[in-house]
Amino acid sequence: MDIPTTPLGQSFAALPDLFYAPVAPTPVVTPTWIGFNNKLAETLGLDRGFWQGDEGMAILSGNKVADGSQPVAMAYAGHQFGNWVPQLGDGRAHILGDVTAPNGQTYDVQLKGSGPTPFSRNGDGRAALGPVLREYVMSEAMHNLGVPTTRALAAISTGERVQRETGLPGAVLTRIATSFVRVGTFQYFMARGEHEALAQLADFVIERHYPDLRDAEHKYVKLLEAIIARQAELIAHWQLIGFIHGVMNTDNMAVSGETIDYGPCAFMDHYHPETVFSSIDEFGRYAYHNQPRIARWNLGVLAQCFLPILHENGDAAVQLAQDAINAFAPQFDEAFKTGLCRKIGLSLTEDNMALAVAYLDLLQEYNLDFTNGFRKLVSLDPAEIEVNANKFEGDSWRDWLGKWAAAHDNEDTSLTARQEIMRLSNPRFIPRNHLMERMIAEAMDGDLSLFNTLNQVYQHPYDDQPEFDAFTAPPANEERVQRTFCGT
């Protein structure tokens, strides 16, 4: 019988040798499905019958190389916590190839936790079940929250143990991204003086992500500008939903503008700008309020890597890079401020922005939940201050609500329209840390029901789903997660 498969394209593997190491995944003992993302498979135009069958499982667990596939581990460098590391690369990931979806977009298919590569250094090349489930749920939740991100197509348990602080069950994740090119990929070639490769990489990125620039004049200048613009949007989005990436090293920043590398990332519960969860972020470098600054720093590094291809004249190149990087702050500000005003149902003005910031200050002062604090506004009629004031406590709230009502009076749209804007700006459901921990603990005991339920709930994070109200609660004191781990 002819099995209809989806042949994988090989556009990354078609790049010159120095971009990657050709290496096959290491087989695993007993692959078992944990999750397969039907909706994503459909978006990608994949034949579900094939990929969910025995052969699909063999390929996605690393037990078989698909016909015509040339698995590679990508080379990259990066600054980790500000320190230069000239060679990182995929130490436990294999790009199997790419698929072009019915919408015309090409996506790379990558296994993570699929065995060692020449870039593994001392690592075992494997991933534990917990971090795989966490990335699966969180990246899909981010997608449904409307944030550009890598996606999770499948998770398979390996039947093998991985040794971390203790022995843990192992798993392999299938990640999908429009590409896995990072700031660190450009750094890798810049550091080696491989200027030809820089241009080839830039051309690959244009083909994949910015095809409109293909024939543009000064295309590399425009590419740099476009990458910076997408990052400004992305980071504003993170800030607006309280997402803390946790390891914003330059090797974890994708030039596609997608969120990548879900390690110790976490959503903020109670609002505090200095919130940091990652156990390895000792000094709060990647704390919530530092994310825009760090993104700009990373993009400054990227701009330096672009110097040899921006202009043949060194001074002119520096000027172009400088101009491009200077655009980050205003672009971020615009996106963030517009979004923050939308969270309180208002258009962007200086007064409305001050009001939104005052709300953040109140949340901080009263130690209140960031997500629920904003979501609460959706169901309030600003005109009913007296009724509403009883739902909050204290004079500072009454005062704020009064100003909020006055600001709403100045808007010329309908209240219904403004409430809809608030609803779509303030999620009801986010993947909270304590839920992620509970889900992982239960999965380690063989119970995947919470994993499945949460995946379902996070498909519609902006909808009220009363039957799942329990998942909107902030953690009780004993549930509060203080630290998250890379799980590597």
Which residues would be at the binding site for Mg ion (CB under 5 A)?
A: 252, 261
Residue of 72, 49, 37 whose CA lies nearest to 151 = 37
488 touches ligand AMP (CB under 6 A): yes
123 touches ligand AMP (CB under 6 A): yes
Q: Considering CB under 6 A, how many residues would be counted as binding ligand AMP?
A: 18
53: CB partners within 8 A, 6+ apart: 3
The Cα-based distances of 418 to 283, 342, 344, 460 in angstroms read: 40, 8, 9, 20
Q: Are 107 and 422 in contact (CB under 8 A)?
A: no
Q: Which two tokens stand for residue 176?
A: 């999908």
Closest to ligand AMP by CB, 252 vs 352, is 252
Smallest separation (angstroms) from Mg ion to the CB of 25: 18
Query: Candidates 10-18, 86-94, 397-405, 477-485 — which segment interacts with ligand AMP by CB under 6 A?
Result: 86-94
- Contacted entry of Mg ion, ligand AMP, none for residue 120, CB cut-off 5 to 8 Å set by kind: ligand AMP
Q: Are 126 and 115 in contact (CB under 8 A)?
A: yes
Closest to Mg ion by CB, 252 vs 256, is 252
Closest to ligand AMP by CB, 298 vs 425, is 298
Pick from 79, 92, 209, 245 the residue near ligand AMP by CB under 6 A: 92
Closest to ligand AMP by CB, 137 vs 309, is 137
Residue at 337: amino acid letter: K
71 touches ligand AMP (CB under 6 A): no
Closest to ligand AMP by CB, 295 vs 325, is 295
DSSP string covering 300-351 = HHHHHHHHHHH-SSHHHHHHHHHHHHHTHHHHHHHHHHHHHHHHTT----HH
Smallest separation (angstroms) from Mg ion to the CB of 252: 5
Catalytic member of 251, 261, 281, 369: 251
Closest to ligand AMP by CB, 88 vs 321, is 88
Q: Are 484 and 446 in contact (CB under 8 A)?
A: no
Please tell me the chain's helix, strand, coil percentages from 3-state DSSP, rounded to the nearest 5. 50, 15, 40
How many Cβ atoms are within 10 Å of 323's Cβ, its own excluded? 13
Pick from 79, 126, 245, 418 the residue near ligand AMP by CB under 6 A: 126
CA angle, 150 then 85 then 151, to 5°: 5
Smallest separation (angstroms) from Mg ion to the CB of 101: 25
118 touches ligand AMP (CB under 6 A): no
Smallest separation (angstroms) from ligand AMP to the CB of 33: 22
Q: Alpha helix (H) ranges present in 74-218?
A: 129-144, 183-191, 195-209
91 touches ligand AMP (CB under 6 A): yes
Q: Are 286 and 276 in contact (CB under 8 A)?
A: yes
Judged by DSSP in three states, 44 sits in helix
Question: What's phi and psi for 414, nearest 5 deg?
Answer: -75, 155
How many Cβ atoms are within 10 Å of 461's Cβ, its own excluded? 20
Pick from 75, 88, 152, 155 the residue near ligand AMP by CB under 6 A: 88
Q: Which of residues 263-322 bind ligand AMP (CB under 6 A)?
A: 263
89 touches ligand AMP (CB under 6 A): yes
- Contacted entry of Mg ion, ligand AMP, none for residue 105, CB cut-off 5 to 8 Å set by kind: none
Judged by DSSP in three states, 197 sits in helix
187 touches ligand AMP (CB under 6 A): no
- Contacted entry of Mg ion, ligand AMP, none for residue 158, CB cut-off 5 to 8 Å set by kind: none
Active-site annotation holds for 215: no
Closest to Mg ion by CB, 189 vs 336, is 189
Active site residues: 251
Which residues make up the interface to ligand AMP (CB under 6 A)? 88-92, 119-120, 123-126, 247, 251-252, 261, 263, 486, 488
